[in-house]
Amino acid sequence: MNHIVEPENKEPEQDSIYNSVEDMETQEADSTDAAAEKPAERPPAEPEPDGAARPELNGTSEVCLVSTTQDADMEEDEARSEATFSFSVPNFSKLKESVFSPACYVRNLPWKIMVMPRNNPGQDRKPQRSLGFFLQCNAESESASWSCHASAELRLLSVKEGVEDFNRKITHLFYSKENDWGFSHFMTWNEVLDEERGYIKNDTITLQVKVNADAPHGVSWDSKKHTGYVGLKNQGATCYMNSLLQTLFFTNTIRKAVYKMPTENDDSSKSVALALQRVFYELQFSDKPVGTKKLTKSFGWETMDSFMQHDVQEFLRVLLDKLESKMKGTCVEGVIPKLFEGKTISYCRCKHVDYQSSLTETYYDIQLNIKDKKNIYESFKDYVEPQTLDGENKYAAGEHGLQEAVKGVIFETLPPVLHLHLMRFQYDPITDSSVKFNDRFEFPDVLRLNDFLQTPESTPAEYVLHAVLVHSGDNHGGHYVVFINPRGDGKWCKFDDDVVSRCTRQEAIDHNFGGQDEELNLTVRHSTNAYMLVYIRRSHLAEVLQEVTEQDIPLELTERLQEEKRLEAIRRRERNEQHLYMPVQVVLEDSFEGHHGPDLYDPEKVNYRTFRVKKSATLREMMDLFSETLKVPVKHLRPWPMTIRTNQTNRPTVIDMDGDILKKVSDLADSNSAWTLFLECLPADQPPTASLPPFDKDCDVLIFFKLYCPRTKQIHYCGHQYIPISSKVRELVPLLNERAGFPPDTELHLYEELKPNMVERLEELETSLDKALDELMDGDIILFQKAEHEPCDGDLPTVEDYYKDLFYRVEVTFCDKTVPSDPGIVIELSQRMNYDQMARAVALRLGTDPYMLQFFKAQNYREGPGNALRCTYEGTLKDLLVGYKPRQPKRIYYQQLSIRINELENKRQVKCIWVGPRLKEEKELVLYPNKDGTVADLLEEAAKQVQLADGGSGQLRLLEIVGHKIVSVVKEFTHLDTLPVGSAKVYRVEETPRDELKLEEDELLVPCAHFQKEIFSTFGVPFLLRVKDGELFSAVKERIQKKLEVPDKEFEKYRFALVSQATHKFVPEEADWHLGLQDIRPKIGSGSSTLSWLGLEHMNKTPKRSRYNYLEKAIKIYN
């Protein structure tokens, strides 16, 4: 039992009654009731007596009949979300064991009141008897996967006029290991028995529970039956996506448009449009929760993306943008902007002169500030609230100079469907992180926005609430659900991933305002609140929510999706019947051609013909299946099961076609896993009347032949033959010469292939096969080559040499280090190769010079290049591959060089960024100065790779950049090995402007950087600017504008600040303000030796949204 006890109570007694009912782990519950401030630890329980179980009712005579009353509609609606039921306990004073009420069904789960006497520690540490009162859910279920979140009020009913019921509240996630929750000290035993207190009469008490439960997960909850709708399965952390997809699905105009997107020629695995059509079709017609794996796969997402929580707003923007681009040029082009696009006018109006500017912009959603706002109307007022520009912040009004002005935003148009994002996640400069604001924020079910329009539109701006997306949790993650009003008629449903349930308006709206409402704090967690709202304009309600029928779906799409379902049903049936079948892998003789290794084929590379054969099928039925599939008569076929011998060779073995023809396949196979057969076939040019030659398993043996050519250093397959066991070895020579195309009298050397790396010469040609070959068996392999009496030019002159070399062969994948996820090229090499031999082999494949390649060992702990190999490496390829498992792909990384490797190893690699004179052209430079060189050497190398401006100074300089700010100009005499490196540091090469080559005593080069709002939010390309002591700042601004090539209208919005360490001071707007070098140089006694920098405050046009979750990455839909 899971219970809450008073903090001041003592340890309970461990009596037999306690032990007989305490049959599970106890976990304390939090209660907001004042009487249960903190949960106490569970008292230690002794082991249960054998056979102990919770009784349904007290079996002793001390507890008589009990009565239970429930809501009148209980029998009618067991799927309801809320119920109140009571339980009377007579002979209460004699209660010694737990008693349970009959079950009351809520959300199709049985709920019971559980009552028991409990001993809890009192104030004086002595045991105090108390009434234990618990709510139990689904306790008799054997399933371990179910869960149900519920809140409840536990009441002890008053029987005395003027005395109120005694109640406490709980909220809990009920599941198999915590299926009851309540209070072990609901009220002291003596207080209950005291008739003056008014809770007992005739030794009978009545307990009552009012429970409100969410739809359960992990049980057979039929969402379609209870609501008419189905949910979406969660892949791991895709609740945000599920909530948004349901919202778009019930925006029926969007659903219709998605159905009409032409996808008949789309790739079913890569088409986002087709995958969304599939999800919408399933949501409309399926009776079970719909999967989204095909949809996320069409996005180009890996599995990890489905376990990473993203932001709803960002996902909505990316998805709508993707759909809008795919709708272009189709019959549904323009549907998305028509639904979601509105317009705002940003204006700036001078107070004292006739000058103003305005800019019209479009939007698909509106972000509303909720901090310190009570409701949505206050947020809209804040959104359009004009700002006064005065003092240092005056507006530059062209020829009128700096003027006091008012700037703001007004809505020109509002769209039919309004997406409102409540800015609950905001940056907190104190913690330097994003935090979630759970403040109470109210929103109505009917929103009137006429007052925020510049001029009234043709229809009133009155909106009906259609959906509420709710987030539970904090900035590190949480859970999304969505409440939707599908028909716009006020009948709400809750969509919680795969579970859909009906809910009240209060649950959908009021409970999601957020904040700490005393009336709601038991049913709603403090961190659960609305994050996004969807409103539909009342004048467009019928159009946006128009019914979508089967006739609105193109017939081609319906047929395609139904065919997909049919094929999936077949695959599902095959999976369900898989235990009745076994796979039979057939290898044909043509698979032996081109195999140059041991045995007859490589099991990892061979192209099997796989047959699905019933385990109960006979050998004859299997042969008929082969015949029917391969279109070959049965008498043209003979199966040879492949067997792994004790010497680790994989060879065919005989099967008794006469004696085993009626045996079951499962009895003939070694196991129920894949059974591999070599299927011998007559050549295709044989007539149908022909048949395979007879094979006598007692007198004949199946032998395979392979020819070795020393000049090409390759093995060639030369077929097979049934040979009488008594035949002499010499009798094979004419046959082998014929197979190899040699003259009949050609002298041959014959070998037997004993093991993958061992062959043995057959010296005695006059002996019979059974004596010449070691343990003669079907499937033995004889290799042969021409007898060479003169030394061969090759380094592998004999079969024996070839097989020794074969033992050291290994396939190595060489991946280009500079190409992310490069699949690489696979080359078969000898593990005995040295560095030069390996480099030559790779260079030959790449078509380059081996000395223009640099190699890197792979890291053992993860994929990726490790340390570079020196070209003087003295080990072998085998040494480089230490740590790889036998069948694990073996990788070595390389990069192609611009200088020879032996020169490179005497140099140091330095990566820099080159920035052109316009501060826009950026490219990465990979430079190779000498290891003991200076910055001057580095700049000399850089000069060889960059294009200098005509008429420029021709001199380069090196800047150290950290966080988009210039830290220093690195002196040319600085040794390269003293340059600090780090992930945050960037070194930049640029041409020194002519006017900055020589500075006067009263001049400085001032670092300049861009920032947005906060000085730590720097961005863009920083730069240096020559400044003269006492210079008018207006002249400085002119030079900055010219350098950055910013239009006048945009530059008017720039503000300037002098930043020293963490403090900043905005430059006065006065036209005659002078900039002194003392404002730039470090202050005496400040402890800093760095110059102040000049900050340019303006909008970052390519901002990166700060992530709420440290694991979160930007959402991308790749296809």
Report the candidate in 935, 1105, 1082, 1079 with the shortest Cα–Cα distance to residue 1017: 1105
Contact 92, 58 (CB under 8 A): no
**φ and ψ at residue 668, rounded to 5 degrees:** -80, -35
In this predicted model, what pLDDT tens digit does every residue of 826-836 receive, in sequence order?
A: 999 989 899 99
Find how far residue 1065's CA is from the centre of its chain. Answer: 44
**774 has a pLDDT exceeding 90:** no
DSSP for 359-415, written as a single string = EEEEES-EEE--TT--BHHHHHHHHH--EEE-GGG-EE-GGG-EE-EEEEEEEEE--
Bridge-based pairing of strands 650-652 and 387-389 is unpaired
**401 has a pLDDT exceeding 90:** no
Tell me whether residue 699 is one of the annotated catalytic residues.
no
What pLDDT sits at residue 658?
A: 87
Across 779-786, average pLDDT? 95
In this predicted model, what pLDDT tens digit does every residue of 437-470 receive, in sequence order?
A: 888 999 999 999 999 999 999 999 999 999 999 9
In this predicted model, what pLDDT tens digit does every residue of 987-1002 receive, in sequence order?
A: 999 999 988 999 998 8
What pLDDT sits at residue 55?
A: 35
Q: What predicted TM-score, i.e. pTM, was given to this entire model?
A: 0.59
What pLDDT sits at residue 535?
A: 97
What pLDDT sits at residue 525?
A: 53
Q: Band of the pLDDT at 60, cuts 50, 70, 90?
A: very low
Other Cβ atoms within 10 Å of 597 Cβ, number: 14
In this predicted model, what pLDDT tens digit does every residue of 408-438 receive, in sequence order?
A: 999 999 999 999 999 887 766 666 566 778 8
Distance CA(82)–CA(86), nearest Å, equals 14
What pLDDT sits at residue 423?
A: 86
In this structure, of 590-604, 710-724, 969-983, 1068-1082, the range with the lowest mean pLDDT score is 1068-1082
What pLDDT sits at residue 122?
A: 64
Tell me whether residue 479 is one of the annotated catalytic residues.
yes
In this predicted model, what pLDDT tens digit does every residue of 313-332 receive, in sequence order?
A: 778 888 888 888 889 989 99
Across 342-353, average pLDDT? 92
Of the ranges 542-551, 945-954, 971-980, the best mean pLDDT one: 542-551
Q: To the nearest whole percent, how much of the chain has pLDDT over 70? A: 87
Could you give the C-alpha distances from 547 to 273, 286, 432, 542, 562, in angstroms and in order? Answer: 21, 17, 48, 9, 21
Ranges assigned E (strand) in 772-880: 780-786, 809-816, 825-830, 853-858, 865-868
Q: Band of the pLDDT at 1052, cuts 50, 70, 90?
A: confident
**360 has a pLDDT exceeding 80:** yes
Across 893-904, average pLDDT? 88
Across 89-101, average pLDDT? 93
Distance CA(422)–CA(442), nearest Å, equals 11
**595 has a pLDDT exceeding 90:** yes
Distance CA(182)–CA(92), nearest Å, equals 19
What pLDDT sits at residue 270?
A: 83
202 burial class (0-12, 13-18, 19+ CB within 10 angstroms)? exposed
**28 has a pLDDT exceeding 50:** no
Distance CA(466)–CA(365), nearest Å, equals 15
In this predicted model, what pLDDT tens digit does every residue of 256-315 receive, in sequence order?
A: 999 999 988 888 888 889 999 999 999 999 999 998 888 888 887 765 544 455 667 778
**φ and ψ at residue 559, rounded to 5 degrees:** -65, -40
Q: Band of the pLDDT at 1117, cuts 50, 70, 90?
A: low
In this predicted model, what pLDDT tens digit does every residue of 834-880 receive, in sequence order?
A: 999 999 999 999 999 999 999 999 887 677 888 889 898 999 998 88
Across 684-706, average pLDDT? 90
Report the candidate in 428, 590, 477 with the shortest Cα–Cα distance to residue 240: 477
Question: Catalytic residue among 471, 479, 636, 1010, which?
Answer: 479
Q: Where are the alpha helices (DSSP H) in 873-1021?
A: 877-880, 901-904, 935-943
Q: To the nearest whole percent, how much of the chain has pLDDT over 90? A: 51
What does pLDDT average to over the chain? Answer: 84
**798 has a pLDDT exceeding 50:** yes
Q: Band of the pLDDT at 382, cuts 50, 70, 90?
A: very high
What pLDDT sits at residue 859?
A: 83
**546 has a pLDDT exceeding 90:** yes
What pLDDT sits at residue 966?
A: 92
In this predicted model, what pLDDT tens digit does every residue of 632-672 receive, in sequence order?
A: 999 999 999 999 998 889 999 999 998 899 999 999 997 77
Q: Token digits for 703?
A: 């032998």
**370 has a pLDDT exceeding 50:** yes
- Helix 272-285 and helix 252-259, axial crossing angle in degrees, nearest 10: 120
Question: Catalytic residue among 239, 348, 350, 493, which?
Answer: 239
Report the candidate in 654, 740, 670, 666 with the shortest Cα–Cα distance to residue 703: 654
**1087 has a pLDDT exceeding 60:** no
